[in-house]
Amino acid sequence: MKTVEFLLYTLKPGSGNNFHRIMKEQSAPCHRAAGMDIVAFGNSVEDNDAYYLIRAYDDLTHLNTSQERFYRSPAWREGPRQAIIDKISVSVKTVMELSDSAIDGLRNS
């Protein structure tokens, strides 16, 4: 079992495409460099200004240490941080445990 974090964002109107571009080109590489496994991310098929980010960790300790590394890194703080934050109206987070096969079923192809 792994610890899986689901983040759901309501974005400011009209910002979905730009948010996804920033996530794909700048933020996701920073996440991976901090040791995070990005399972999936993207715009909702129903609303382009709704967004999801699913990240997997070995356990809660790994979640905490990798997020601390990521959110304190110059690559994040001096990189896409402000552009990402400026586009988010609402952020909701939940964490649960899932099997590797369940996580693989959620992965973006």
| Nearest alpha-carbon partner for 10 in 84, 108, 99, 91 | 91
Number of domains in the chain: 1
Domain that holds residue 46: 2-106
Please tell me the distance from the alpha carbon of residue 13 to that of residue 50, in angstroms, as a whole number. 9
What burial class does residue 51 get, using C-beta atoms within 10 Å of its C-beta: 0-12 exposed, 13-18 middle, 19+ buried? Answer: buried
Q: What is the domain-level CATH number for residue 88?
A: 3.30.70.100
Q: Convert the pLDDT of each residue in 24-81 to its tens digit.
A: 999 999 999 888 999 999 999 999 999 999 999 999 999 999 999 999 999 999 999 9
DSSP state letter for 82: H
Q: What is the mean pLDDT of residues 11-33?
A: 96
Average pLDDT over residues 15-21: 98
Once rounded to an integer, what is the mean pLDDT over residues 82-109?
95
pLDDT for the residue numbered 109: 58
- Look at residue 98 in the predicted model and tell me its pLDDT: 98
